[in-house]
Chain A
């Protein structure tokens, strides 16, 4: 059974840091394109970052230089390191599994349960 179980998140002051984790089971994290997607209050879903099966990464412009997606294959875990957090980063963050090739990299068929990140003083 495919499962994505998230941890991390919480309340942090502007300029602070957090690391989100997503432990996967039922497949290997390196075999698929893994993503982070967020849902801010009153807004639509927003794709945040991807790590390709080969290990390269890409981030949306609004988080470039501040957020870093990574994975640990030995722990079958996906991470999102978030630095220099801003109030506009407040959202529920989801890890999501994409396909195993570029054409379907962004068809998100399994999702974590979500974790709330609140950036406020």
Chain B
């Protein structure tokens, strides 16, 4: 099973600042990496797949990068509605498909 490790656990940033979230895989997942945003009381929402492709309707301030074992989600110019938990997920090796433990972004 591939273990996904996210850092930091919590990130406190001010509006307008840039946030950088990290996700590390225990072995290479190539570019088979997705990011999800989850706000309190809501279901997760797909942000990024293929490590860097934004899902439909996702604002351009969200960007993903990386391949292999190291990945980054960058949120440029944070807005108040970006407060959420962000999950990374590998879909390279299954079963099972695995998620990180999440990074909480506080604004």
Contacts and interface: CB of A to CB of B under 8 A. Distances in A.
A60 interface: yes
Contacts, number: 56
Interface in B69-107: 87, 89, 91, 94-102
Bin chain A's interface residue count. Answer: 20 to 34
Bin chain B's interface residue count. Answer: 20 to 34
Given A106-B89, A112-B43, A44 B99 contact: yes
B31 to A, nearest CB: 11
Interface of A: 37, 43-47, 58, 60-61, 94, 96, 104-109, 111-114
Given A45-B89, A105-B91, A107-B49, A114 B43 contact: yes
Nearest to A6: B43
B95 A60 contact: yes
Given A45-B99, A107-B34, A108-B36, A113 B94 contact: no
B91 A107 contact: yes
A44 B101 contact: yes
